[in-house]
């Protein structure tokens, strides 16, 4: 919903994420580094993330799709510069394949093939956050694992 700045909103604009995609989580950042808001959506049923780039004024491109793997069920997504290259990287939990993916950004709205971090058998990671938990100057990843009733931190 686009806001008027007074607590009221314009009529909604609807953007398709694909037939039977079942979008689950969404995050906004400027992944293309053009000073416009871009969107990253996890599509749980089509096992991918969708990245529509913002044109400004509430309009977006048709999203580029990035696979999260067969039967992965991508659940949660966040964005941060993981490797200090000043580019937005996308971090996704894949609940049914028990891993977290890191898609490293090129700075133009596109991403490299993901790196996979296994969270343990039957862990089913459901939520992800980032912080420098060990205070060493590098970003760490924490995932809530509903299958094993724990939180796992990747340092």
Q: Of 1 and 94, which is predicted with more confidence?
A: 94
> How much is the pTM?
0.94
Residue 94 near residue 74, CB atoms below 8 Å:
yes
Residue 54 near residue 23, CB atoms below 8 Å:
no
Residue 78 near residue 91, CB atoms below 8 Å:
yes
* Per-residue confidence band for 102, with pLDDT thresholds at 50, 70 and 90: very high
Residue 2 domain-assigned? no
Q: How large a percentage of the chain has pLDDT more than 90?
A: 90
pLDDT tens per residue across span 113-154: 999 999 999 999 999 999 999 999 999 999 999 999 999 999
Residue 3 domain-assigned? no
CATH number for the domain that contains residue 49: 2.120.10.30
Residue 143 near residue 135, CB atoms below 8 Å:
no
Q: Would you tell me how many other CB atoms lie within 10 Å of the CB of residue 153?
A: 12
**Secondary structure (3-state) at 97:** helix
Per-residue pLDDT, 128: 98
Look up the domain containing 89 and give its range.
23-154
* Per-residue confidence band for 10, with pLDDT thresholds at 50, 70 and 90: confident
Residue 11 domain-assigned? no
Question: What DSSP character marks residue 96?
Answer: G
Residue 106 near residue 115, CB atoms below 8 Å:
no
Residue 99 domain-assigned? yes
| Residue with token string 């862990």 | 123
pLDDT tens per residue across span 40-98: 999 999 999 999 999 998 899 999 999 999 999 999 999 999 999 999 999 999 999 99
> Which among 96, 102, 1 is positioned nearest to 49, based on CA atoms?
102
Residue 100 near residue 143, CB atoms below 8 Å:
yes
How many folded domains does the chain comprise? 1
């Amino acid at each position: 919903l686009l806001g008027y700045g007074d607590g009221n909103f314009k009529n909604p604009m609807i953007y398709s994420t694909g037939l039977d995609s079942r979008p689950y989580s969404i995050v906004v950042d400027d992944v293309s580094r053009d000073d416009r808001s871009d969107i990253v959506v996890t599509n749980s049923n089509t096992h991918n993330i969708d990245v529509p780039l913002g044109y400004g004024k509430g309009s977006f491109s048709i999203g580029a799709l990035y696979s999260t793997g067969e039967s992965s069920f991508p659940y949660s997504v966040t964005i941060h510069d993981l490797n200090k290259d000043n580019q937005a990287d996308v971090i996704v939990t894949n609940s049914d394949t028990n891993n977290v993916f890191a898609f490293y950004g090129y700075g133009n709205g596109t991403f490299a093939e993901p790196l996979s971090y296994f969270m343990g058998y039957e862990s089913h990671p459901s939520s992800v956050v980032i912080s420098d938990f060990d205070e060493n100057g590098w970003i760490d990843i924490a995932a809530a694992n509903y299958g094993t009733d724990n939180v796992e931190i990747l340092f």
